[in-house]
Structure 1
Amino acid sequence: MKLVFCGTPVFAVPTLEALIGAGHGVELVLSQPDKPVGRSGEVNPTPVKVAATAHGIPVLQPEKLKTNQALRSSLEAIAPDAIIVVAYGRIIPQWMLDLPKYGCLNGHGSLLPRWRGAAPIQWAIAAGDAETGVTTMLLNAGLDTGPMLLKRSIPVTDTTTSPELFVSLAQIGAELMVETLAGLEAGTITPEEQDDSLATLAPLLTRDDARIDFSLTSREIDQRFRGFQPWPGAFTALRGKKLIVHGMHVVEEHSVTAPGTLTIRDGAMEVACGSGSAIVFDEVQLEGKKRMPAADFLRGFQLKSGELLGG
């Protein structure tokens, strides 16, 4: 097929590569504008732009889509059979939705209608879902509300982290998009409307999502910790200062202290959580200090059992 591909981060690159590998003609790539990263402020090209350039595919990085007449003229001249959208980060306007023969196809990192929105992979782990996956769908004007085409699921274990799941779902999504195009062309796929009553939202993560709520059970806290890696992470407060937690694990012992209460047990930082559960901090970093194993932190700071974290 003659395609236009819209994507920005690393997650979208395997799909672009798979489409090219399957023999489709990617005529143009749209990616978000390059932005400065890190403390240096160096402007780096988006991962999708790097991949497209390596294949000699033209790349456009428009600031706006809806009223961009030059872009519209370019796409109308290409007359793509389909527009593929994977983690692009822009709302696709109606004129683009209406343009291709097979529509605008999206690869979304969840089993829709569960986890519509910007951060489906992270929220699936944070919520303790037993499985997640990728759904291909036809985009419409809503937020991930379009008719579903194909799905593929994988299990989420009690050790799965977001970075691991991103890699797995990116590859699954690439294979599924190639399969979706083949099915549409062959007429073997029937779009299926989503059941809105089953929908859940996966909103964009904020820094405050990293704040540990010790009223949750230790397993719920661990799920959020694994889901919110590498950003926004997890933190709490200790003696009025921010304490970033880089590593933690659940303990099975029943805690009789109030949530947020610290217990120093065998050189470990154990914190009481909701429903009598507890969690142990393995690696921490006090604001302005370097990260270190919790055992080293305890040797350097005179903490006592009974101190309260959070607030």
Structure 2
Amino acid sequence: MKIVFLGTPDFAVESLEALEAAGHEIALVISQEDKAKGRKAIVEKTPVKLAAERLGLPVQSVHRLRTDEDCIRRIREIAPDFIVVSAFGQILPKEVLDIPRFGAINIHASLLPKYRGASPIQQAVLDGEKESGITTMLMAEGLDTGDILLQEKLPLDRKETADSLFQKLAELSKTCIVKTLEGFSKGEIHPVAQEDEKASLTGIIKKRDGFINWNREASYIERMVRAYTPWPNAVSILPNGKTFKIWQADAVNKPDEEMLSLGKIQRGDIEHFLGDNFKEEYIPTDGAGGLFCSKNKQKLFFSTGKSFLEITELQVEGKKRMATSDFLRGYSGKAE
């Protein structure tokens, strides 16, 4: 099969490599533009572009496919059997969807129609789902609204993070897309319309989404820690004004040992950190937002709207990730 592949992040690399290994002709790889990253604003190629170059495949970067007439013309000249899309990051116009002989197929990291949109992996973890999976579908003009071709399910671990689920689903996507192209081209897989009434939508995650509202219950915040690992991380402020990320935590009803108070998050620090994104709902009430440690200074807790969050690994601004015991040895409770 002759394929034009569109993808951008690491997730899409697995499918690209699987299609190439299966003997399909990858006539063109299209990825989003290279972007400047980090404090030094170093321009980096996308993971898909790097993979295409490593595999010796023709690759093209686009800013906005919908308005890139040269790129669309190139796809039309190739006359592919399939267009395969995996986390490309743009909605394809109808004139592109109509080009391939068999159709444009999208690889989506959820069991559609649940979790359409940009962040299905994070949302599945945040909602405490017991399973997720990969869906391949015929692309339509809407956002992840096309007919389903194949679905493969995957159980979630109790401590699943977005990062671990990302890797598992990327691996699962390899077999799914190869099976889909073979079965659909032979007429063995038939499109099934999505049940729109069961659909849910996920949005683009922003850095501010990781800021913790301590009025939420501990179980939700614990899922938030896992859903936003490795980015944007669950973030909050210590009573001394320092910001910190939580890498690992557990929800506990009430600490067994006697606790020592280390203070409470200050309203002014929250307002300063959130700036224009500040909302009154982030101000801890009714005992929430208090920092405590065990009497032996080995365990760290935050009070929440319901129960406590025990933090086992964290990272204070300007420092490396550390275990709670290491943090408590150096924590004075005062701004440095």
Q: TM-score, normalised by structure 1?
A: 0.91
Partner of 1:52: 52
Give the corresponding residue for 1:228: 228
Pairing 1:244–2:245 present: yes
Identify which of 276, 288, 293 aligns with 1:259.
Answer: 288
Per the TM alignment, residue 90 of structure 1 is displaced from its structure 2 partner at its CA by 1.5
Give 1:288 deviation, angstroms: 4.1
CA drift of 1:71 comes to 1.5
Structure 1 equivalent of residue 304 of structure 2: 273
Question: What are the superposed Cα offsets for residues 99-157 of structure 1, whole Å, 9 maximum, x if unpaired?
Answer: 11211100000001111111111110011011001100011111111111100111112
* CA distance in structure 1 between the partners assigned to 2:132 and 2:212 by the alignment: 24
Correspondence for 2:99: 99
Question: 2:187 is matched by which residue type in structure 1?
Answer: G
SS of residue matched to 2:66: coil
In 1, the alpha carbon distance for the partners of 2:137 and 2:40 equals 39
The farther-off stretch of 264-273 and 252-261 is 252-261
> Residues 63-106 of structure 1: CA distance to partner in whole angstroms, max 9, x if unpaired?
12223221122111110011000011122111101111211100
Give the aligned partner of residue 89 of structure 1: 89
Q: Distance in 1 between matches of 2:33 and 2:292?
A: 49
Q: Distance in 1 between matches of 2:118 and 2:24?
A: 28
Deviation at 1:199, TM superposition (A): 1.2
Letter of the 2:329 partner, please give it.
R
Q: Distance in 2 between matches of 1:225 and 1:143?
A: 28
For the aligned residues, what is the CA RMSD? Answer: 2.0
Q: Which amino acid aligns with 2:314?
A: V
**Unmatched runs of 5 consecutive residues or more in structure 1:** 305-311
Deviation at 1:271, TM superposition (A): 1.5
Q: Counterpart of 1:150 in 2: which secondary structure?
A: strand
Q: Which amino acid aligns with 2:207?
A: R
Aligned residues: 303
SS at match of 1:177: helix
Distance 1:158 1:173 in 2: 22
Matched, 1:32 2:32: yes
Structure 2: any 5+ residue segments left out of the alignment?
260-285
Structure 1 residue matching 2:107: 3-state secondary structure: strand
**Secondary structure in 1 matching 2:152:** strand
Q: CA deviation at 1:174?
A: 1.4
Give the distance between the partners of 1:55 and 1:241, measured in 2 at CA. 46
- Structure 1 range deviating more: 39-48 or 133-142: 39-48
Q: Which amino acid aligns with 1:127?
A: D
Show the 5 A alignment for 1:68-87: 68-87=68-87
Structure 2 CA distance for aligned equivalents of residues 202 and 56 of structure 1: 35
- Please tell me the residue identity of whatever aligns with 1:260: G
